[in-house]
Amino acid sequence: KMRLGIISALHEEQQGLVEAMQGPQRRSHGMRDYTLGTLWNIDAVCVLSRLGKVAAAMTASILVEKYGVTHIVFTGVAGSGDKHVKVGDIVVAEALLQHDMDARPLFPRFEVPLTGLQRFATDLELSTQLAAAAEDFLRDDVSSVLKAADIVAFGLQHAQVHRGLIASGDQFISSAAHLHQLKVDIPDLLAVEMEGAAVAQVCFELGVPFTVMRTISDNANEKAAVDFMRFVQTVASPYAFTVIQQLCQR
Ligand code: ADE
């Protein structure tokens, strides 16, 4: 039987989901609170990982090994990694890469030693369902869950869903030069964040199907920190909540 683990780094990225749970049971372990219950009739466990690859790997491992989840979805925000990917767009990962992994000359750049992989593929079925849920959300629900003024201010009228490569590292990218260098090294990059590829490695090693959904909060440039804060405060939670609701109800 399916049990879905839902991870976000920050409170605002999954706000509302814990409150929406039926029969919630709270368990604390390793400095995190895991809430077990059902979401729209799906057995689920919600948890905040905090930021960074180690925090995310720890959280994913505990979800699987201690709380028995069979599938994992990570939901949060990211910086844009491509000029066609705009603030408010949703990126559903097809694969994830750790952009700060570099064990040369022992292993090729980006390869996670002894996995033989630079890229960890997400589960196709789960990603397809999540992308469809995100499409439904952008088409039908944005105007009911967000204020009109915020929709205009963030340019969300034209928001789109993309599928492709997300890169993670223990760095908040806030310089156009840094992003440009990453783009030279990883041309098909769509978004940058700090957890997804760690969850991907854990799920690969444990054989757990997973996917990652990221809403673009900023352009990973000099304005990233300010844009990120504003986006997280106003837009992140209604997006995450409604897309997960759409996913569970499919
Ligand atoms: N998450 C959201 N924006 C980000 C950025 N610019 N760099 C890394 N992680 C992010």
Task: Return the ligand 1 atom nearest residue 194 CA.
Answer: 9
Question: 78 alpha carbon to ligand 1 midpoint, in Å?
Answer: 5
* Residues having CB within 6 Å of any atom of ligand 1: 77-79, 172-174, 192-194, 217-218, 220, 224, 228
Does residue 174 have a pLDDT over 90?
Answer: yes
Calpha distance 58→115 (Å, rounded): 18
Calpha distance 214→135 (Å, rounded): 13
The residue to mutate among 86, 193, 229, having the most atoms of ligand 1 within 8 angstroms of its beta carbon, is: 193
Helix ranges, the chain (H): 17-20, 53-65, 124-136, 142-145, 148-153, 176-185, 196-206, 224-231, 237-249
Segment 23-51, tens digit of pLDDT: 999 999 999 999 999 999 999 999 999 99
Calpha distance 33→3 (Å, rounded): 17
| Nearest protein Cα to ligand 1, atom 1 | 78
> Which pLDDT does position 15 carry in this prediction?
86
Two tokens at 53? 């690859």
Question: 41 alpha carbon to ligand 1 midpoint, in Å?
Answer: 33
Segment 184-218, tens digit of pLDDT: 999 999 999 999 999 999 999 999 999 999 999 99
> Which pLDDT does position 72 carry in this prediction?
98
